[in-house]
């Protein structure tokens, strides 16, 4: 939607729309109790009890004030330890900044790095917050394709082709939203070489790191030789611990960037929410079996959704390697995926997100979240199939 106001900056007036919210807004006009929501980008589980209890304790003991702006030291130490032990990332505690969700991280990092006219290599499809924030800095995303035949990985050869003398950074989101792709170690190594060769900074968004399937392994590009000093690792508690509403995440940054990153973070939020920091500390230091249980449940749903989508004629779907989204291709039915998503809401009462809202290569696709119960998934997919059958009967003969 183009808003014309003489007060808005040119960049703000033209900021690309957030596809996920656009479709949620459209769906809100319809009766909620009828609707099956497969558009939601957050775990449908409650935050585990041991985390909530620690937060309550923090409130009761008066830990409700501003904290150090980069976060309480216990949490920063726990994050640095986790990164070292699990991700082989040796950031110093001083280079950890606790932020109000990874989304704040994206804003702070793009502010810290980008000049007008800089180019940022980003996948297509992409997580829309990146394009919005790159746009708001007057910089430009340069897209490289994620294709189903490569497991929706960002391929190093495409990255190399996208580099120009204006390139400042490469954004890697693995596991990926919206495609579910996971970068292999081989591709990460090849991209790391490109980053080093052209002196680029890498922003590695690892927020779905624990949610991988079929024995896949998540790798952190910052752990590769020569990469820690040029990698910003972004992570958060939202997806792994079902903590979306607590608004808590973290950045780990190369030493030369940390002071200004922390300055911008302070200017933006002063400090992350105090109670959420104690909850995050409990999450990261407590028992991890609730994470495993969630991932097991996502895994069962993933199996179901892929099998069920493959039963629908002319729908092509690659099994996601990570995260909790399937990204099926409906282009044999229509390329107007936005109309399809809206019609599914209006006529079939099932909410998905149009693929083109995540970039041009998403056209013809829908993002279907399986952060919904198996029974909801079953109902939603039955409705999608019925809608297709009614409108394209010839595809079902």
Ligand X SMILES: Cc1ncc(COP(=O)(O)O)c(C=O)c1O
Instruction: Tell how far CA 179 is from the center of its chain.
Output: 10
Exactly one of 70, 123, 223, 238 binds ligand X (CB under 6 A); which one? 238
- Per CB under 6 A, 244 contacts ligand X: yes
CB of 290 to ligand X, least distance (A): 18
Q: Which stretch binds ligand X (CB under 6 A): 99-107, 154-162, 250-258, 361-369?
A: 99-107
Interface map 17-36 toward ligand X (x if CB under 6 A): --------------------
Exactly one of 180, 222, 249, 254 binds ligand X (CB under 6 A); which one? 249
Bridge partners (DSSP) listed for residue 329: 316, 365
Exactly one of 101, 181, 254, 362 binds ligand X (CB under 6 A); which one? 101
Using the 8-state DSSP alphabet, how is residue 38 labeled?
A: -
Angle between helices 258-269 and 102-113 (to 10 degrees): 120
Exactly one of 102, 111, 167, 290 binds ligand X (CB under 6 A); which one? 102
Strand duo 36-37 + 350-351: pairing: parallel
- Per CB under 6 A, 328 contacts ligand X: no
Q: How is residue 47 written in tokens?
A: 């935050």
Nearer to ligand X, 322 or 349 (CB): 322
Nearer to ligand X, 254 or 272 (CB): 272
Exactly one of 39, 70, 87, 103 binds ligand X (CB under 6 A); which one? 103
Instruction: State the Cα–Cα distance between residues 147 and 125, nearest whole angstrom.
Output: 9
Q: How is residue 102 written in tokens?
A: 């990874």
Cα dihedral value 183, 111, 92, 174, nearest 10? -10
CB of 250 to ligand X, least distance (A): 9
Nearest residue (beta carbon) to ligand X? 101
Q: How is residue 154 written in tokens?
A: 């960002």
Burial class (CB in 10 A: 0-12, 13-18, 19+), 330: buried
- Per CB under 6 A, 322 contacts ligand X: no
- Per CB under 6 A, 127 contacts ligand X: yes
- Per CB under 6 A, 246 contacts ligand X: no
CB of 179 to ligand X, least distance (A): 11
Which parts of 30-69 interact with ligand X (CB under 6 A)? 41
- Per CB under 6 A, 277 contacts ligand X: no
Which parts of 129-158 interact with ligand X (CB under 6 A)? none
How far, in Å, are 51, 145, 203, 235, 250 from residue 86 at the CA level? 21, 29, 19, 13, 15
Nearer to ligand X, 219 or 308 (CB): 219
Exactly one of 180, 236, 355, 357 binds ligand X (CB under 6 A); which one? 236
CB of 63 to ligand X, least distance (A): 21
Position of tokens 């990874």? Answer: 102
Instruction: Supply angle C-alpha 326, 369, 336, rounded to 5.
Output: 70
Q: Which stretch binds ligand X (CB under 6 A): 48-56, 96-104, 153-161, 371-379?
A: 96-104
Interface map 187-226 toward ligand X (x if CB under 6 A): ------------------x-x-------------------
Instruction: For residue 112, give the 3-state DSSP assignment.
Output: helix
- Per CB under 6 A, 173 contacts ligand X: yes
Nearer to ligand X, 40 or 93 (CB): 40
Q: Which stretch binds ligand X (CB under 6 A): 97-105, 269-277, 279-287, 369-377?
A: 97-105
Instruction: State the Cα–Cα distance between residues 46 and 65, nearest whole angstrom.
Output: 26
Q: Tell me the site size for ligand X, rule CB under 6 A.
A: 13
Spell out the residues 6+ positions from residue 156 whose beta carbon is closer than 8 angstroms to its own: 187, 190, 191, 193, 194
Q: Taking a C-beta distance cutoff of 8 angstroms, is the pair 43, 254 a contact?
A: no
Sheet holding 366-369, edge to edge: 325-326, 366-369, 353-354
Bridge partners (DSSP) listed for residue 37: 351
CB of 131 to ligand X, least distance (A): 12
Nearer to ligand X, 105 or 385 (CB): 105
Spell out the residues 6+ positions from residue 178 whose beta carbon is closer than 8 angstroms to its own: 125, 127, 325, 327, 353, 355, 358, 362, 367
Q: Which residues bind ligand X (CB under 6 A)?
A: 41, 101-103, 127, 173, 177, 205, 207, 236, 238, 244, 249
């Amino acid at each position: 939607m183009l808003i014309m106001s003489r007060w808005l900056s040119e960049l703000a007036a033209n900021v690309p729309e957030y596809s996920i919210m656009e479709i949620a807004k459209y769906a809100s006009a319809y009766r909620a109790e009828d609707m099956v929501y497969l558009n939601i980008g957050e775990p449908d589980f409650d935050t585990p009890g041991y985390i909530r209890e620690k937060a309550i304790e923090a409130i009761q003991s008066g830990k409700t004030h501003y904290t150090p702006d980069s976060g309480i030291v216990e949490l920063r130490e726990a994050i640095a330890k986790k990164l070292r032990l699990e991700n082989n990332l040796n950031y110093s505690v001083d280079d950890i900044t606790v932020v109000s969700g990874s989304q704040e991280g994206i804003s702070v990092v793009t502010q810290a790095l980008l000049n007008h006219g800089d180019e940022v290599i980003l996948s297509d499809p992409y997580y829309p917050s990146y394009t919005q924030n790159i746009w708001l800095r007057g910089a430009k995303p340069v897209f490289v394709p994620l294709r189903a035949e490569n497991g929706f990985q960002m391929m190093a050869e495409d990255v190399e082709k996208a580099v120009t003398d204006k390139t400042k950074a490469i954004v890697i989101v693995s596991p990926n939203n919206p495609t579910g792709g996971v970068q292999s170690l081989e591709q990460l190594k090849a991209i790391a070489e490109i980053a080093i060769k052209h002196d680029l900074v890498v922003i590695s968004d690892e927020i779905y790191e624990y949610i991988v399937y079929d024995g896949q392994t998540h790798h952190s590009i910052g752990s590769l030789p020569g990469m820690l000093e040029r990698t910003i690792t972004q992570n958060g508690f939202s997806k792994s611990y079902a903590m979306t509403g607590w608004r808590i995440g973290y950045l780990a940054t190369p030493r030369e960037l940390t002071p200004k990153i922390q300055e911008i973070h302070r200017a933006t939020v002063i400090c992350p929410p105090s109670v959420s920091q104690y909850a995050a500390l409990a999450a990261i230091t407590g028992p991890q079996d609730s994470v495993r249980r969630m991932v097991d449940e996502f895994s069962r749903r993933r199996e179901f959704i892929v099998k069920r989508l493959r039963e629908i004629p002319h729908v092509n779907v690659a099994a996601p390697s990570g995260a909790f989204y399937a990204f099926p291709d409906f282009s044999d039915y229509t390329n107007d995926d936005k109309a399809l998503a809206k019609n599914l809401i209006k006529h079939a009462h099932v909410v998905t997100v149009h693929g083109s809202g995540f970039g041009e290569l998403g056209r013809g696709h829908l993002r279907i979240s399986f952060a919904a119960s198996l029974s909801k998934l079953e109902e939603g997919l039955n409705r999608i199939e019925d809608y297709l059958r009614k409108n394209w009967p010839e595809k079902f003969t």
